[in-house]
């Protein structure tokens, strides 16, 4: 493990590199930073057109219900998937200079969080404007949920980043695992309406808990259950601890095995 006294320095490195990646990504597109706003507008607009105007299915609140699930999942799924290749993407860097490998997936987490924050803000605007959801006192709990999901994403990102370099087949396994998790996280259905056995099983899925917590706060005007939030925190802590331990244990090995 790297010295505790170096943590502020490495945090600055994470923020600086995330800023550099965001700026480079923006300059590669003709619309630059505007694309960060246009992409989520299109993303949200597609679901609105299909389910609210097109199919008119799922009931009165189905589109807000669906959007809460999709926005929360997009932040998690896209970040974890991108983090799996964070060490390989920076192979040239880590083969030339030394830095703790945990920095690289955290850079991906921070940069994706900046972009996902735009989608989250648009979600809140859409809930208020077209769907008429009035902000309530429970909305003050949103920052807590954002922090909890951020910790979960960071832990999962660090864990997958630590494992994928050892076998690229793990990347294919991860893609399939994320697809399975996508359909098991209650994005298209309410886990509270499932049979007791299924609800108890899904209750151990941290993303199902997170998505249901967003819906509780934004749509039901209630606070999420503490037991579920503890599961999310436990999953975040365990995955972060495991990933950080693996990255530290094989810190000097990764430059030799990446892109072999």
Domain ranges (residues) in the chain: 4-257
Q: Please name the residue ranges forming H helices in the chain.
A: 7-28, 34-47, 62-83, 86-89, 91-96, 103-128, 142-163, 169-183, 196-202, 206-218, 226-249, 254-257
Return phi, psi of residue 110, to 5°.
Answer: -65, -45
pLDDT at 19: 84
How do residues 53-101 score in pLDDT, each as one tens digit?
Answer: 655 555 567 788 888 998 999 999 999 999 999 998 888 888 888 888 9
Give Cα 171 to chain centroid, integer Å. Answer: 17
Q: What is the mean pLDDT of residues 29-47?
A: 68
Kindly indicate the confidence band of residue 119, based on its pLDDT and cuts at 50, 70 and 90: confident
The yes-or-no verdict on residue 249 having pLDDT over 80 is yes
Confidence class for position 145, pLDDT limits 50, 70, 90: very high
**Number of Cβ atoms within 10 Å of the Cβ of 127:** 20
Q: Which whole number is the average pLDDT over 144-170?
A: 94
Claim: this prediction has a pTM higher than 0.85: yes
Residue 41 scores a pLDDT above 80: no
Retrieve residue 89's tokens. 């993407």
Rounded to the nearest integer, the mean pLDDT of the chain is: 86
Other Cβ atoms closer than 10 A to 140: 10
CB-CB contact of 2 with 99 (8 Å): no
Report the pLDDT averaged over residues 147-165: 96
C-beta of residue 207 within 8 angstroms of C-beta of residue 76 = yes
Residues 6+ apart with CB under 8 A from 174: 80, 81, 84, 160, 164
* Residue 206 φ/ψ, nearest 5 degrees: -55, -35
Structural contact between residues 105 and 157, judged by C-beta atoms closer than 8 angstroms:
yes
User: What pLDDT is recorded for position 126?
Assistant: 85
Q: DSSP letters of 38-95?
A: HHHHHHHHHHIIIIIIII--S-TTHHHHHHHHHHHHHHHHHHHHHHTTHHHHTHHHHH
Residue 7's pLDDT is: 61
Please compute the mean of the pLDDT values over residues 191-214 and round it to a whole number: 90
């Amino acid at each position: 493990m790297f010295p505790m006294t170096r943590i502020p320095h490495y945090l600055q490195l994470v923020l600086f590199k995330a800023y550099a990646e965001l700026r480079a990504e923006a300059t590669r597109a003709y619309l630059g930073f505007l694309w960060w706003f246009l992409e989520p507008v299109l993303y949200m607009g597609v679901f609105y057109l299909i389910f609210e105007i097109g199919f008119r299915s799922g009931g009165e609140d189905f589109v807000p219900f669906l959007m809460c699930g999709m926005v929360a999942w997009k932040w998690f799924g896209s970040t974890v998937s991108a983090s799996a290749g964070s060490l390989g993407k920076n192979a040239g860097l880590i083969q030339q200079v030394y830095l703790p490998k945990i920095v690289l997936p955290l850079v991906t987490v921070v940069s994706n969080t900046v972009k996902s924050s735009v989608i989250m803000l648009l979600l809140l605007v859409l809930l208020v404007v077209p769907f008429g959801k009035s902000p309530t006192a429970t909305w003050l709990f949103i920052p807590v949920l954002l922090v909890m999901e951020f910790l979960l994403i960071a832990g999962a990102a660090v864990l997958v980043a630590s494992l994928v370099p050892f076998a690229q087949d793990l990347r294919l396994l991860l893609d399939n695992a994320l697809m399975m998790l996508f359909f098991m996280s209650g994005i298209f259905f309410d886990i509270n309406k499932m049979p007791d056995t299924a609800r108890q099983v899904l209750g151990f899925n941290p993303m199902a808990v997170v998505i249901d917590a967003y819906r509780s706060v934004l749509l039901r005007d209630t606070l999420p259950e503490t037991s579920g939030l503890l599961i999310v925190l436990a999953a975040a802590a365990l995955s972060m601890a495991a990933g950080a331990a693996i990255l530290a244990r094989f810190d000097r090995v990764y430059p030799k095995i990446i892109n072999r």
